[in-house]
Amino acid sequence: MEWLPLYLSIKLACVSTCALIILAAPLAYVLAYSRFAGKSLLEALINLPLALPPTVVGFYLLVVMGPKGTVGRIWEAATGSPLLFTFLGIAIASIVYSLPFAIQPMKAAFEKIDRRLLESAYVLGLSRFATFIKVIIPNSIAGIAASAILVFIHSMGAFGVLLMVGGSIPGETKVASIAIYEATEALNYREAGLMSLTLVPISYAFLLLINRLNRSKSHGA
Amino acid sequence: MELRIDIKKMLPHFDLDVSFVCEDERMLVLIGPSGGGKTTIIRIIAGLEKPDEGSVAYNGETWLDVGKSIFIPPQKRRLGYVFQDYTLFPHLNVYGNIAFSAHDKKDADELLRVFGIRHLRNRKPYEISGGERQRCAICQALARRPQVLLLDEPFSALDVITRRMLRDELKAMKSTLSLPIVYVTHDINEALFLADDILPIVEGKIARNWMQQTITRTVSPETGRSRAVREPRLSLAY
């Protein structure tokens, strides 16, 4: 069995998870605690990948990240190399595609925190940022962990969006889901079966972990 | 040193309009029926809410002046605030909660000793009783060495015995604190027992006759202490 696609999938999932935890936390904070015009529009935009076919998300990312797209043009001008069909390109695609999975559990966890705890922190002299770091984050660990696990699983299983943005370049963008698809197309069922079999226990273990987290959260409450 | 309040705010069912002064080393008790605007006043003093008009000043320093667009955020007012319900940080132990914003970490140890909760130092808030939690909340508020202490019905969720014990402790401690204290309650017994000054608040206004209208005051022949005969809990508490 080819191990490189599986390694790439795990690498992609790790990169997406780390990036999204950092990116999603402030966004979830804004959505949980702020009131501003257009908040529901922003929230719907973030959740759009949930409602669209992956190929549609992939198509728009292809356009934006391509040599004629805004992001792709800026990137090429700055680095001299393209963004499409690279590991970084599929990592960005995976981050955009998994963003709602990171935001929702985190936002729910932030919203559950009693507002008076935050007010108590303000009265005790903490700035909003310090309150976020010292009060909100430590009291939302289960929600943040749930976000991380969901993003990891989702990134491991991404297919359409990655294929559109990254194609299938061995060692660069050919992740496990794409390798399984190609092996199946080539009627190499043994290879496809073995690779699928390795993904099942990984995803199952992470889902068990989520259930456990949810149980501990409900017991804690 | 004094806390000077003059505020107006439109609330859903009435307009809040109060003006008063709380002097140093005095406990001013805001009393009145629930939903009368007492908590809103204390939240405005803390900077957690803004009035539509008016000002809040401590010792000549303006904390809030709507007309002059001055607003000092709660973080910079250096006050102690004990909330109605337990607002200890659940992820920290008792010591962590008290030392959270302590001016000097030694203060946290000293407060633990004074309030008799040193043995609870490493316990989490959910592992201790309601009375112990409120003791811890008072320590947390005092550890910051506040300029003003605000207490919003701090004992309302406690049983009668614990409540009475904590009231006694607070009264004893009051004389050692040289700062203005604003205490909110709807309990007449508590107000009579703790207050240096009482300010009845009814539907957002100071209602000086409210106490007389609500209770009939007599003097107990045994103790000479004022008693409110129409308050059933009075006999239990005092």
Q: Which residues of A touch B89 (CB under 8 A)?
A: 117, 120-121, 135, 138-139
Percent of chain A predicted with pLDDT > 70: 97
- pLDDT, chain A, mean: 90
What confidence score (pLDDT) does residue B228 get? Answer: 42
DSSP B238: -
In a domain, B151, yes or no: no
| Alpha-carbon gap, residue B229 to B221, rounded angstroms | 13
Answer yes or no: do B81 and A123 touch at CB < 8 A. Answer: yes
What confidence score (pLDDT) does residue B181 get? Answer: 94
Q: Which residues of A touch B47 (CB under 8 A)?
A: 122-123
Question: Given CB atoms, is A124 within the 8 Å cutoff of chain B?
Answer: yes
pLDDT for A95 beyond 60: yes
Question: Given CB atoms, is A221 within the 8 Å cutoff of chain B?
Answer: no
Identify which of B107, B138, B133, B104 has the alpha carbon closest to the alpha carbon of residue B120: B133
Q: How many domains does chain B have?
A: 1
What confidence score (pLDDT) does residue A106 get? Answer: 95
pLDDT for A171 beyond 90: no
- Identify whether the C-beta of residue B30 lies closer than 8 Å to the C-beta of residue B201: yes
Answer yes or no: do A122 and B85 touch at CB < 8 A. Answer: no
Model confidence pTM above 0.90: no
- Identify whether the C-beta of residue A26 lies closer than 8 Å to the C-beta of residue A129: no
pLDDT for A131 beyond 70: yes
Mean pLDDT check: name the lowest of A202-206, B55-59, B67-71, B191-195: A202-206
Mean pLDDT of B220-237: 40
Answer yes or no: do A122 and B75 touch at CB < 8 A. Answer: yes
pLDDT for B234 beyond 70: no
| Alpha-carbon gap, residue B31 to B20, rounded angstroms | 14
pLDDT for B226 beyond 50: no
| Alpha-carbon gap, residue A56 to A62, rounded angstroms | 10
Residue type, B128: I
User: Domain boundaries in chain A?
Assistant: 4-34+42-215
What confidence score (pLDDT) does residue B236 get? Answer: 29
Q: What is the pLDDT of residues A17-76, one digit of tens each?
A: 999 999 999 999 999 998 898 899 999 999 999 899 999 999 999 999 988 899 999 999
Mean pLDDT of B113-134: 90
**A116, closest residue in chain B (CA to CA):** B87
Mind telling me how many Å the CA of B73 is from chain A's nearest CA? 8
Mean pLDDT of A149-171: 90
Residue B50 structural domain: 1-78+177-238
- pLDDT, chain B, mean: 85
pLDDT for B235 beyond 70: no
Mean pLDDT of B45-72: 94
Answer yes or no: do B91 and A138 touch at CB < 8 A. Answer: yes
Q: Tokens representing A60? A: 């728009």
Q: Which residues of B touch A (CB under 8 A)?
A: 46-48, 73-81, 83, 85, 87, 89-91, 100-101, 140, 144
Nearest to A124 among B47, B91, B100 (CB): B100
Answer yes or no: do B144 and A139 touch at CB < 8 A. Answer: no
Mean pLDDT of A90-95: 94
In a domain, B86, yes or no: no
Mean pLDDT is highest, among B19-33, B44-58, B82-96, for B44-58
Q: For the domain made up of A4-34+42-215, give the CATH fold.
A: MetI-like fold (1.10.3720)
Question: Given CB atoms, is A114 within the 8 Å cutoff of chain B?
Answer: yes
- Identify whether the C-beta of residue A27 lies closer than 8 Å to the C-beta of residue A103: yes
Question: Given CB atoms, is A122 within the 8 Å cutoff of chain B?
Answer: yes
In a domain, B100, yes or no: no
Alpha helix ranges (H) inside chain B? 38-46, 94-99, 105-114, 130-143, 160-174, 188-194, 210-214, 234-237
pLDDT for A148 beyond 70: yes
pLDDT for B214 beyond 60: yes
What confidence score (pLDDT) does residue B215 get? Answer: 62
Q: How confident is the model at residue A101 (pLDDT cuts 50, 70, 90)?
A: very high
What confidence score (pLDDT) does residue B216 get? Answer: 53
Q: What is the pLDDT of residues B168-185, one digit of tens each?
A: 888 888 888 889 999 999
Question: Given CB atoms, is A137 within the 8 Å cutoff of chain B?
Answer: no
Question: Given CB atoms, is A120 within the 8 Å cutoff of chain B?
Answer: yes
| Alpha-carbon gap, residue A165 to A92, rounded angstroms | 9
Answer yes or no: do B91 and A125 touch at CB < 8 A. Answer: no
In a domain, B182, yes or no: yes
Mean pLDDT check: name the lowest of A75-79, A91-95, A107-111, B101-105: B101-105
Mind telling me how many Å the CA of B47 is from chain A's nearest CA? 8
* Domain CATH for B29: 3.40.50.300
In a domain, B222, yes or no: yes
pLDDT for A217 beyond 70: no
